[in-house]
Amino acid sequence: MDDLIKLVRTYRVTAGLAERLRLAEAIFRQIEPDLRLFVFSAIQSPAAEDVLQEILKSVAASLINFRKDTLPAFRSWFYTIARNRLNDHFRKKARDPLQPMPNDEILDLLDASEQAEPMTAADRHDLEYALKLLDGSKPECRGYLWNHYVIGFDYGEIAEEQNLNYDNVRMKIGRCLEEAKSLVA
């Protein structure tokens, strides 16, 4: 992800179509999996694929106007677009009760991650513990913990999504974590 912001900066000063297409491909190869995980964690398939495509188009169309220079600002920007498109979807269609990602699917992803980064026995131990924390959490708490630790949203981003203030979210996540720890202990 280190070169991502450089690609974004180069994109906005690039005039030629061929170069823009090359840069856009390099940028979206990096961010599409994150956006896909976010969308597919929030909506059931098959609507998720359509919403994802809308998000990608919106991000691509606005990319030339993104003016900030840091990776966190870029992430925050494209996730704001993604949340807006998700909200458009929820306005058209009642929100389905969200099913958490099943554990066997999570375990598959953990196995797949080993292809990129080998896992130690200590890692496995920690991951088992983390899964127990999620399993032990109430649905609302699981949602907060998932969004914060797995999707990677910071408190501000969750606050914006939930229409809450920053401290409220920080305290909620802290309480959820304490509760999960006490249930697993």
Partner 1 sequence: MPNQNTDAEAALQKLGHRVRLGWAKKQPISDKSLESVKNTVREQWEQEQTASRTSKPAPSPDKDQKPKPPEPGLEP
Binding interface with partner 1 (CB under 8 A): 17, 20-21, 24-25, 28-29, 32-34, 36-37, 49, 52-53, 56-57, 60-61, 64, 106, 108-113, 115-117, 119, 122-123, 125-127, 129-131, 133-134, 145, 149-152, 177, 180-181, 184-185
Cα→Cα distances 27→17, 99, 128, 145, 153, Å: 15, 30, 33, 27, 20
Give exposure, 122-136, as e/b (b: 16+ Cβ within 10 Å). eeeeeeeebeebbeb
The H or E element spanning position 122 is: helix 121-136
Q: Residue 182 CB, nearest distance to partner 1 (Å)?
A: 10
Q: Residue 47 CB, nearest distance to partner 1 (Å)?
A: 15
CB nearer partner 1, residue 137 or residue 159: 137
Cα→Cα distances 103→95, 130, 135, 163, Å: 23, 11, 9, 29
Q: Residue 165 CB, nearest distance to partner 1 (Å)?
A: 22
Q: Residue 126 CB, nearest distance to partner 1 (Å)?
A: 4
Q: How many residues does the chain have?
A: 185
- Residue 33's CB is within 10 A of a number of other CB atoms, namely 10
The answer to whether the CB of 123 falls within 8 A of the CB of 81 is no
Residue type, 91: R
**Tokens encoding 14:** 């690039």
Q: Residue 159 CB, nearest distance to partner 1 (Å)?
A: 19
Q: Residue 111 CB, nearest distance to partner 1 (Å)?
A: 7
CA 103 from chain center: how many Å? Answer: 18
CB nearer partner 1, residue 80 or residue 103: 103
CB nearer partner 1, residue 17 or residue 94: 17
